[in-house]
Amino acid sequence: MKNTLLLLPFVLFGCLSTSSITAQATNDTRLKLLEAEYKVKENDVAETLKYLTSDELEGRETGTKGMVKAADYLEQFFKNNDVKPYFKSYRDTLSTFKETAFNIVGFVEGTDAVLKNEFIILSAHYDHIGIDKKGVNGDFINNGANDDASGTTAVAEMAKYFSAVKNNKRSVLFVFFTGEEKGLLGSKHLAKKLKAQNFNLYAQFNIEMIGVPMKRDYLAYITGFDKSNMASKINEYTGKNTIGFLPKEAEYQLFYRSDNYSFYNEFHVPCQSVSTFDFENFEFYHHVSDEFKAMDLSHMTSFIQELLPAVTQMTNAPTHEIHMN
């Protein structure tokens, strides 16, 4: 029996036809070409960002009509780009907020029979702080372009990419959180819900405030830099000095102040946020002047493009290459 079992893999391999092997190789080559040739379009980035920051949405405060309009737009974006709902609908209603509010959750299933049972979460929060009763120079709407329509736009573009290329062995959950500005309420709700369902989370990559560039020798920084090897692996995947260490991040303990922390607290796996807001390059944090016109569209487009190889490799690594330190 032992000798028969030893021969079995070679017998099975011999049963594969030359045409099936060639077809698989051709398909792999096609996917790699699609991935390499995929280009994020600045006009598409501008279109999403411009709507999310429009006065019509009145600052997207959680539980308001403006938040619902933003959610409607993001849900339609998923539909238009063939990103499926993870639950029965795209709307994940919060249990942590007294009024009606919901995260928007979509996913692209992995292509590997085994690895598709593991998930990467790509996320950002689409809510903001709404109307300023006092106002500044007659402007009362906190449009929240950098915080965090910029991150939401990036995640939307990544969802479009994965749906188009279909080159992810692990499954990818795309989440637009609400309630972040109310105390991480959306992410706290979803993290607990998924944990109770034995959700198999490999890592979360959360995007916060990437609307303007930094004047540094790296593209972005990551929160909780020393908690995992995510930064070094991203740099390995991109082949660039993409992620660096920002001392202010550690000083202000930003790791605990965004939606990544809710998932880290439940799953204890690498869950971190990436940002280009460095406390020197943008003066309109929670301010009515955080508007579309203040965003650097070219930077945002190149940011998303540069991160695509990294998030792709996160989904395709054969082992848990990203791990806690």
Task: Transcribe 120-146 into DSSP letters.
Answer: EEEEEE--B--EEEEEETTEEE---II
Write the CA distances from 302 to 82, 157, 283, integer angstroms: 24, 12, 22
- Residue 86's CATH number: 3.40.630.10
Provide the pLDDT for residue 14: 37
Question: Distance between CA atoms of 183 and 131, rounded to whole angstroms?
Answer: 18
Residue 7, pLDDT above cutoff 60:
no
How many domains are there within the chain?
A: 1
> What pLDDT digit, counting tens, does each position of 91-144 carry?
999 999 999 999 999 999 999 999 999 999 999 999 999 999 888 988 999 999
Residue 189 domain boundaries: 43-316
- Please calculate the CA angle 47-316-239 and round it to the nearest 5 degrees: 75
Hey, is 69 helix, strand or coil? helix
Considering the chain, what percentage of its residues have pLDDT values greater than 70? 89
Chain centroid to CA 285: how far?
Answer: 21
Q: Does 259 map to a domain?
A: yes
Q: Does 23 map to a domain?
A: no
Q: Does 11 map to a domain?
A: no
Question: Token pair for residue 136?
Answer: 């500044």
Q: Does 289 map to a domain?
A: yes
Q: What is the mean pLDDT of residues 73-85?
A: 98
pTM for the full predicted model: 0.90
Question: Distance between CA atoms of 21 and 155, rounded to whole angstroms?
Answer: 35
Q: Does 7 map to a domain?
A: no
Q: Does 324 map to a domain?
A: no
Q: Does 2 map to a domain?
A: no
Provide the pLDDT for residue 99: 92
Question: Distance between CA atoms of 317 and 323, rounded to whole angstroms?
Answer: 12
Provide the pLDDT for residue 4: 36
Provide the pLDDT for residue 29: 60
